[in-house]
Amino acid sequence: MYTDWRSAHGSGGGSGDGWHGECQWRLRRNCALSPRQSVAAIGVLIGLVVATALFFGIFLRLWLVLPFAALCAAAIVSSFVCYARHATDGETVTLDSLTLVVEADDGATHRVYRMRPGWLRVIVDSGHGTDVSVYLCERNRRIEIGREISAVSRLEFATQLRLELARGASEG
């Protein structure tokens, strides 16, 4: 979900050469559980699997349940690791009078893109049904942005970015 939007417009004490504001958008996934809550939920789930396996293994002498329970617990842990690795995915977009900086996080990968606001185009592609993609284009470079947020939030972000780019162009 679209989580944060900050804007600081003003003279900035500059030399009168136009727009001196800075805008920042954080386009991140809305994770419902904190890391501590996630670990607790996974721990409870694994505890239930182990308790069930021990009951069937010890009291009912069905020892074949234990390896399957271990396999189930390993699957739960691997899914948690995958979830945790991508819990902080998203982009931070910072716009000032000279550059637009996009910091994109995808798992362990961190990329930084720098673009010139005067040459930047915001393209909204409403391809399949309700799915909407937003692209930032500068010359021959095109990056998709906002994949971790809802389509409505992507449209809102694109509208706000276009307004800020227009404001910067008219004041610059």
**pLDDT the model gives residue 129:** 67
| pLDDT tens profile 127-162 | 776 788 899 999 889 999 988 888 888 889 999 999
Instruction: Report the interhelical angle of 35-54 vs 65-85 (nearest 10°).
Output: 170
- Domain segments of the chain: what residues? 2-29+91-171, 35-85
Q: How many helices (H) and strands (E) does the chain have?
A: 3, 8
| pLDDT tens profile 15-48 | 334 445 688 999 987 777 777 888 899 999 999 9
**pLDDT the model gives residue 10:** 39
Q: What angle do CA 138, 142, 148 make, to 5 degrees?
A: 125
Name the least confident of 49-58, 79-88, 132-141, 158-167. Answer: 79-88
CATH class of the region 2-29+91-171: mainly beta
Name the least confident of 15-19, 23-27, 69-73, 166-170. Answer: 15-19
Three-state DSSP class for residue 115: strand
Backbone φ and ψ for 50, nearest 5 degrees, come out as -65, -40
Contacts of 79 (CB under 8 A, 6+ apart): none
pTM value is 0.68
